[in-house]
Amino acid sequence: MADPTKSPPLTRPSVIAAHSLIKQYIHYTPVLTNQTLTDLASTPQSPSDLEDTQWAGQTPARPRIRLWFKCENLQKVGAFKVRGAFHALTRLMAEPGWEEDGGRHRGVVTHSSGNHAQALALAARTMGIPAFIVMPSISTPSKIVATKGYGAKVIHSGSTSVERERVVEEVIIETGARLIPPYDHPDIILGQGTLGIEMQEQVERMIAAGEDGWQEKCSYAGKAGGGGKRKAKGLDAIIAPCGGGGMLSGTALSCEGTGIAVFGAEPEFEGADDCKRGLEAGKRVETVRTLTIADGLRTPVGAYPWTVIHDRKLVKAMFSVTEEQIKKAMRLVMERMKMVVEPSAVVGLAVALFNEDFRRIVESEGGEEGWDLGLVISGGNVSVEAMGKMFEVSQKEIERQEAKVGQDGKELAENVAG
């Protein structure tokens, strides 16, 4: 990899500079809104929803949230990872002596469950460089096929980060390829953070143009005093998914000094919420073994992202959600926004909808005016077969869900009327 000590400093200006460097290679992905999901986020959960949770018996929070979705599922290769890959590879190629030392012929190597794999494969093909990608044998088949389709050589490994890294070392010894890590490098962090810069600009423009439609459409506009007047500014906060932490830390850097709070979202299944647990303990968790459906978030937070998230305290808090909540959020995005998203992409939405600790922060700090909340939809690489299996339900479950939809609609109407 490029010498991390020679990388630009981890600052907001460096993220802006990274964007200038890679914008010719990436899509300027859209920011979308959805009135149904904004209404749901601004509706108190029912007491029945809180049963069997740590908030059972408590009064549900009443936050006012306006949702803004940064759609990186529409990015090249279907995920934000292409930003970091192009930035890291571009900087590696600019390293003195790289070309003369045969770097172009030896190529690059990485390990990834799928999205960074595809991203680096595309970046390497674009630059005319061989790419060797170490992928867990349990990776989504469609992601393996796509990675090969970009011209990379795929080598399989075990599913843990330790197993992946061991195979990467073997490839480096055999080929002399240079490592482009999936998240634990300053150049990767700065590249991923470019989505945060774009999102801030986009939301500010959309609010100024009145494109959010909050006053005209939202069921809650005007409920508080002041007739539902909108503030003339941008985002109050962003929630980003966290696996290795490259994108979360990059997003936090993009917001440094802006007043925008940054939060991280993780699955809690089998200890996948390592960043949350690490912050609580004051020490980074270095090993994670989990088979959460959010397969892009199965890795532990890297050392460089940790310095931004923990040491510099640029991430305000971490929240975790259940597998069922992830599936509910995924279903809502597909049915209400008509977008294909992978499970990892919706953990932030699941936090906004279901995590009462986060919702109480919004209620307390946002008050009657509420928050404009950015959600990073990190990717859309999920196969039809995986989705079918994930949402396979019995007729009895279908009838139960239909009954619950009817009850939820009744409770929503009562809350709005009240």
Segment holding 95, helix H or strand E: none
- Across the beta sheet with 131-136, the strand order is 153-157, 131-136, 108-111, 178-179
Of 119, 195, 188, 117, which Cα lies nearest the Cα of 156?
117
How many helices, marked H, and strands, marked E, lie in the chain? 19, 10
Q: Is residue 233 annotated as a catalytic residue, yes or no? A: no
364 is catalytic: no
In this structure, what are the phi and psi dihedrals at residue 157, rounded to the nearest 5 degrees?
-150, 180
Rounded CA-CA distance 317/351 in Å is: 12
Catalytic residue among 76, 81, 143, 276: 81
Selection from 235, 374, 246, 254 nearest residue 314 by Cα: 254
Please report, for residues 71, 102, 127, 128, 132, the alpha-carbon distance to residue 151 in angstroms, rounded to integers and kept in the order given: 26, 20, 12, 10, 9
State how far the Cα of 132 lies from the Cα of 192, in Å rounded to an integer: 21
Catalytic-labelled residue, pool 7, 42, 112, 113: 113
Tokens found for residue 407? 């009850």
269 φ, ψ (degrees, to nearest 5): -60, 125
Q: Which amino acids are annotated catalytic?
A: 81, 113
